[in-house]
């Protein structure tokens, strides 16, 4: 399968990677994303599955057969490459927020 470029992340992708800074299984990822986004973002299992497959193909996450805290097998965790991508995305979002700050102050 050809690798897709993941230079920028969508909002759900960003939150899934944030969640995977600890090993989690599928359903735990969905719950953690909801928790991190304060209930704002809900990811469906189908969307999550496709996303995890894409991340795994690009070496951003890895899958293990260890049991997660819920006792389920097939947990995922972020790789070193994934952490770099997450940090890159965080810096990009931070820059965007800072760039907009001055403009938003004037709009008040």
Partner 1 sequence: MSKQTLKRITVFDSTDLTAAEEYFTKMAESGWMLNKFGPVSEFTRCEPQKLRFSVQILYFERGTDYEKTVKGYTELCGEAGWRSVSSYAGMHVFVTGRDDVPEIVTDPLERIKAVTKQSRAGVILLWILPLLFIAGAAQFILSIAEGKSFASLLALEFPLALCFAALLLFAVTKTASFLKWRRAARRSAASNMPIRYYYLRGMRLRRALIYVGFGLMAAAGLLSLVGVCI
Residue 43 vs 60, nearer CB to partner 1: 43
CB of 89 to partner 1, least distance (A): 18
Residue 30 vs 86, nearer CB to partner 1: 30
How many CB atoms neighbour CB 53 within 10 A?
Answer: 13
Residue 21 vs 47, nearer CB to partner 1: 47
How far apart are alpha carbons 31 and 64 in whole angstroms?
Answer: 19
CB of 106 to partner 1, least distance (A): 27
Contact 48, 29 (CB under 8 A): yes
**Nearest Cα to Cα of residue 70 among 27, 39, 35, 34:** 27
Which residues make up the interface to partner 1 (CB under 8 A)?
Answer: 1, 10, 12, 25-27, 30, 42-50, 53, 72, 74
């Amino acid at each position: 399968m050809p690798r897709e470029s993941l230079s920028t992340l969508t909002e759900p992708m960003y939150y899934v990677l944030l969640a995977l800074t600890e090993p989690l299984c599928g359903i735990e990822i969905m719950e953690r994303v909801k928790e991190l986004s304060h209930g704002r973002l809900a990811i469906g299992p189908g969307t999550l599955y496709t996303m995890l497959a894409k991340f795994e193909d690009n070496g951003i996450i890895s899958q293990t057969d260890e049991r997660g805290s819920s006792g389920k097998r097939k947990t995922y965790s972020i790789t070193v490459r994934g952490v770099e991508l997450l940090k890159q995305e965080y810096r990009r979002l931070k820059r965007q927020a800072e760039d907009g700050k001055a403009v938003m102050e004037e709009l008040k």
